[in-house]
Amino acid sequence: MPTDARFPIEGGCDCRAVRYRMTTSPLFVHCCHCRWCQRETGASFALNAMIEADRVLNRGIEPELVTTPSESGLGQKIARCPKCRIAVWSHYAGSGPVTKFVRVGTLDEPDALPPDVHIFTASKQPWVVIPPGVPAFEVFYEREKLWPAESLARREALLPLIEAYQAGLRRSG
């Protein structure tokens, strides 16, 4: 997990219309090798930095939220630049707008956030080599065993907001 000495850190889309600033380190960085992420990104994996939504400040035009299907059946909202269509982050169904999964490749300095974990490696491309010492799981992992204590505490603080979001979905669905 990177130290806060690197933060804030900025990123955005190709045309620079959408710009954002991550004010702190993310909760955790996932490198997902599932087939859904491969298809959505057109690449071998998705590299996402999970962070509280209020720690990502908009410094450009507002991205457009595009609802896409997901393996869970609940869909996700991908924030895309309305001009160049680059995806800058996603809101997954579990926590909705409470968290952002920032696409690490859209950071001005993407090298600053290497993956903390590789997930869904059962479907990874066979030529992708995971570095020794980096946790990797065929499917998912137990958060409490991998996340730093600070990230677990930050997540705990988010739970009432996530529960309120999910309750709103149940009422409207």
Give the pLDDT band (50/70/90) at residue 71: confident
Q: Which DSSP letter does residue 84 get?
A: T
Average pLDDT, the chain: 94
The pLDDT value recorded for residue 30 is: 98
Give the pLDDT band (50/70/90) at residue 171: confident
Question: φ, ψ for residue 167 (rounded to 5)?
Answer: -65, -40
Topology of the domain covering 4-172 = glutathione-dependent formaldehyde- activating enzyme (gfa) (3.90.1590)
Residue 14 has a CB neighbour count (10 Å cut-off) of: 12
Q: H-type helices in the chain, by residue range?
A: 35-41, 143-146, 149-172
Which amino acid, 73?
A: G
- Max mean pLDDT among 5-9, 73-77, 162-166 falls in 162-166
* Strands, E assignment, the chain: 9-12, 19-22, 28-32, 46-52, 56-58, 64-68, 76-80, 87-92, 99-103, 117-119
Question: φ, ψ for residue 127 (rounded to 5)?
Answer: -90, -5
Q: Are strands 117-119 and 28-32 parallel, antiparallel or unpaired?
A: parallel
- pLDDT at 2 > cutoff 60: no
- Lowest-confidence segment of 92-96, 121-125, 147-151 by average pLDDT: 92-96
Give the pLDDT band (50/70/90) at residue 1: low
Q: Which DSSP letter does residue 63 get?
A: P
pLDDT tens for residues 26-55? Answer: 999 999 999 999 998 999 999 999 999 999
Percent of the chain at pLDDT above 90? 87
- 8 A C-beta contact, residue 4 and residue 24: yes
The pLDDT value recorded for residue 172 is: 80
Q: In angstroms, how far is CA 83 from the centroid of its own chain?
A: 22
Q: Token digits for 99?
A: 């968290």
The pLDDT value recorded for residue 3 is: 52
173 Cβ contact partners less than 8 Å away, ≥ 6 residues apart: none
- pLDDT at 57 > cutoff 90: yes
pLDDT tens for residues 72-120? Answer: 777 899 999 999 999 999 999 899 999 999 999 999 999 999 999 999 9
